[in-house]
Structure 1
């Protein structure tokens, strides 16, 4: 008798309880921001990493540093050039377990016209029945990584010097995910 194999669970992001944040230094002081508009396909099951995947698309025009003038500048060709490259994407190639509830999504991060392989470590904070939504499972994931903005030609040219803006940008993802019970398909 053949065993039925179930695909990794398909999750939707609860954007009211999720965030895509970043931090970079300006002179010595950390400046925080976020991207308010993003989409993600998350198929994840800690017991079926072979069929798990993460695919994220961030809309550059949704950048928000709580400073309208700075946000406008970040959208220009000096930085993200949102008109020409409106999205930042991450597509996982594989996901591996690195410890108790610790994982890493290996994949390609594309900013502007530059694509680089990165490792995105993340923690599964928990999974349980959602008491607010019948037949729904809720999960929490947090991820953090550091990227060098100059690798992606973000803020090069006049902004290449790290005397004003730091090269390293810390990116934090805090995601609350929901899935309908039985939301995986048989193969």
Structure 2
């Protein structure tokens, strides 16, 4: 009888912990940003992508079945300079008419330290797909102040890619010393889940 009681308590504790961490997080686009920066001669050019979508399935207690899948529409690039943005959409860089999205898909997620996870996956830009690794900082869920049935979690990551590896430019502007080849990408995401 004692064993049954102990098992019941353990089951209850596990169930409560699991329920507190929603698996599926809907991206709150009003409070999510996909931004980047790249060197221009001596300064940095900052920009963002305003159109994106994806699936965030994350539970710290079930990393094997957790995943990140984010697609970004490259035509939505915005560096607050229309002429430059149109150039980025052209064949010289993204060739957005032919390659309309870039995508990151996770393959493994492992715990690195408290609320910090190492994520390995594939990044596809244009017709090139490469392995990529990044660190995601997880902000545990808190109750939504706007909906008692919802909770809000945060995901934040910064990583760098070599744009020339993905044929985003042919090296002309890099060799001229105008545009750097390293692009720093920052994703700050809020996810909404059910309690």
Using the size of structure 1 for normalisation, the TM-score is 0.91
Residue 30 to residue 55, structure 1, CA distance change in 2 (3 Å): same
Q: Secondary structure of the residue that 1:61 maps to in structure 2?
A: helix
**Structure with the largest fraction of helix:** 2
CA contact (8 A) 1:8 1:51 kept: no
Task: Establish whether residue 103 from structure 1 lines up as the match of residue 117 from structure 2.
Answer: yes
Higher relative contact order (CA 8 A, sep 6+): 1
- Would you say the 8 A contact 1:12–1:177 is kept in 2? yes
Structure 1 residue runs of 4 or more that deviate by more than 4 Å after TM superposition: 3-8
Partners of 1:51 and 1:67 in 2: how far apart? 41
- Map residues 1-187 of structure 1 onto 2, 5 A cutoff: 9-161=23-175, 163-181=177-195
Give 5+ residue unaligned stretches, structure 2: 1-6
For residue 151 of structure 2, give the secondary structure of its aligned residue in structure 1: strand
DSSP-derived class of the 1:154 partner: coil
Deviations 1:42-83 (A, max 9, x none): 000111101000111000000000000000000011000001
Equivalent residues, number: 180
Normalising by structure 2, what TM-score? 0.87
| Secondary structure in 2 matching 1:167 | strand
1:54–1:92 Cα contact (<8 Å) kept: yes
Tell which structure's C-alpha radius of gyration is larger. Answer: 2
5+ long unaligned stretches in structure 1: 182-187
Deviation at 1:113, TM superposition (A): 0.4
Flag the 1:8–1:179 CA change in 2: closer, same or farther, 3 A: closer
